[in-house]
Structure formats: structure tokens, C-alpha cells
Amino acid sequence: MEISKAEFEVMNAVWQGAPCTAADVVARLDNQTDWHEKTVKTLLNRLVKKGALGFDKDGRRYLYKPLFGRDEYRIKESTSLLNRLFDGRVSPLVSAFASRKQLSQQDIEELKDLIKQWEQTND
Amino acid sequence: MEISKAEFEVMNAVWQGAPCTAADVVARLDNQTDWHEKTVKTLLNRLVKKGALGFDKDGRRYLYKPLFGRDEYRIKESTSLLNRLFDGRVSPLVSAFASRKQLSQQDIEELKDLIKQWEQTND
DNA sequence: AAATTAAGATTACACACGTAATCATATTGT
DNA sequence: ACAATATGATTACGTGTGTAATCTTAATTT
């Protein structure tokens, strides 16, 4: 199951708080995009058909809810990118950023903390 | 400029060694895919139109060459993914992998080395 | 009760994409 | 010289995507 760019924005809006109505999603997206309400409804529909969203009926409205979490999606997308571009591993990605001077002192501190955590848990 | 999945495979083949002919690309892809020669030519054409590939004429053949490097592309795609999914920073991505037990001892070692390098260069 | 509104369902439509086949033409083999 | 071949160009065609408009029907307003 593949989610398009526009569909992802809608998922994001739903992840912000579910269950939620189509009107909620439209309202949440109003800040980020200038999509017509009809456009948003179309995308909700497609996401339901794709199995990315489910819903319960509330009268004649739908209460939408995501069928997988943001974290799950993040990992799936990241793994896919790492596989396509970085031999499936994290460090070549970090390395690419490092050699492009794309890492800040803060990034480094955060990575060091993560490593410390990991070692406490895994060693 | 956006490159599709299939187009990316072709770029990969060209990055393997450029300049190269369409026949070269077809041959290189023959291992990974079972695309028809015509399909590959179509993709080469589209990549030229998109400005991802250039070429010099060699008689009536083209010698294709990439107009941007693999590294450049990797950074662009990764930055885009980080922006969409991880607040634009590297460490939340690493963190997501860590909390999913998706990091190996080797990954950690590589990250530590990278950090050491970075600190030698930047401190 | 009739008219308006609002929800989701269906339809629309141009452009991208995957996956070729056909066309035009230059080169090569016989 | 003519036929076969190889190269890039053009055309094809179903499916996905961005971006809605229209349709159907239930609820709300007057």
C-alpha cells in the first residue's frame, strides 16, 4: 500500500488527533494548504480505500481513525529510503550529512546521547 | 524536478559509469530488472527531458551522462524525508530506529567513529 | 412543508508513470 | 544496391495523482 504526498498530509492531520471528522481534517489542513474541502474529502476516501484509514459512523458523518501509527509509517519510509540509497544502514546516511557539513553541534550531542542510551540498554 | 522509482533505477545504472550508451544501460539493468529495451529507452528519454541526464552525440548514438551526482541526489532525498517525517533533523530518525531495536552493534560503532571524526574536524 | 445546507459517493479531467510498440532513419551485412 | 538492423523519436494505454465539481440524500432552517 502506497500513500501519495497529498494523502500523507491528510494522514498527518488525522494523526494529530483521532478519531476526527472530515471537517476536523479540513480545518487542520487549512493552515498548511489551500485545498478545497472537496479535495480533502477525495483524499479521505482514497485513504479509506487503500486501508490507511478506517472510520466509525456517527449519524451520517464518519469518524476517521488511522489504521497504522505515525511511527510505524516513519520506520517504513525510512527503511525504504535507506535501502534505496544507503545500503540499508543508518550510518552511511549520517556520514553523507556529515561530509556535507550538514550536521550541527546539537545533532552531534543528540547522537551521543542516543548512543549512550543504547549502550546502557544493550550492553 | 522529480525522479520516479523506475527512473531512479536508470540513473543508478548511469551512475555506475558514465558516459554510457543506451545499450550499456540496458545491459546493466538486465541483472536487476526484466525491462524491455524499449522501456529503458523511454526512461532515458524522460530523464533527458527532466534535465537529470545529458548526452553527447556519438554518431547516431547518444552518450548519456548524469547532470547531478549520486551523493547530491542522496542528500536531496534524505533531506526531504527528514523534513517530512523527522522535524528536519537526523537524530530523531536514528532514535526511531533505536527504539525499534533496529540498530546493530556495528551501526553504533560506525556512528561513534563518525562522531569522533566530526569532532576532530569541527572542534 | 419547502428550501437550503451538509455529508459522503460518484464522476471528471489533465498530467505523471510503468511499460512498451510503432515510426523514421541511418548504418551495416550480403 | 537492397535488405536487415539498430537508434532515437513518437505514440499508446491503463493506472495513479492532484484537484476538484456534481450527485444523492439526510438534516436543518425558515
Whether B1 and B17 have beta carbons less than 8 Å apart is answered as no
Whether A24 and A5 have beta carbons less than 8 Å apart is answered as no
Fold of domain B70-122: Penicillinase repressor fold (1.10.4040)
CA A48 to C1' D23, whole Å:
21
Question: Which residue matches cell numbers 542522496?
Answer: B74
Q: Residues B43-73, buried b or exposed e (16+ Cβ, 10 A)?
A: bbebbeeeebbebeeeeeebbbebeeeeeeb
Residue A8 is predicted with a pLDDT of 98
pLDDT above 90 (res A86): yes
Question: Which residue matches cell numbers 483524499?
Answer: A43
Mutate to test the interface with A, among B78, B103, B116 (most CBs of A within 10 A): B78
CA dihedral B24, A89, B113, B100 (to 10 degrees): 170
Please, how many CA atoms are within 13 Å of residue B110, restricted to the half-sphere of its CB?
Answer: 15
Structure ipTM: 0.92
Q: What is the pLDDT along chain B (123 residues), one digit of tens a residue?
A: 999 999 999 999 999 999 999 999 999 999 999 999 999 999 999 999 999 999 999 999 999 999 999 999 999 999 999 999 999 999 999 999 999 999 999 999 999 999 999 999 987
Cβ-defined contact of B122 to A105 (cutoff 8 Å) = yes
pLDDT above 90 (res A43): yes
Q: d(Cα B3, Cα B27) in Å, to the nearest integer?
A: 21
Cβ-defined contact of B118 to A98 (cutoff 8 Å) = yes
Residues of chain B within CATH 1.10.10.10 domain(s) are: 5-66
SS3 A122: helix
Residues of chain B within CATH 1.10.4040 domain(s) are: 70-122
Q: Residues A40-68, buried b or exposed e (16+ Cβ, 10 A)?
A: bbebbebbeeeebbebeeeeeebbbebee
Write out pLDDT tens, residues B59-80: 999 999 999 999 999 999 999 9
Nearest alpha-carbon partner for A113 in B4, B1, B115: B115
CA angle B97, A120, B113 (to 5 degrees): 65
User: Cβ neighbours of residue A80 under 8 Å, at least 6 residues apart?
Assistant: none
C-alpha cell of B53?
541526464
C-alpha cell of A39?
479535495
H or E element in which residue B80 lies: helix B70-85
Query: Nearest-CA distance from B103 to chain A in Å?
Result: 8
CATH 1.10.10.10 fits B5-66, yes or no: yes
Mutate to test the interface with A, among B15, B73, B74, B113 (most CBs of A within 10 A): B74
Cβ-defined contact of B115 to A114 (cutoff 8 Å) = no
C-alpha cell of A38?
472537496
Nearest alpha-carbon partner for B41 in B2, B1, B7, B70: B7
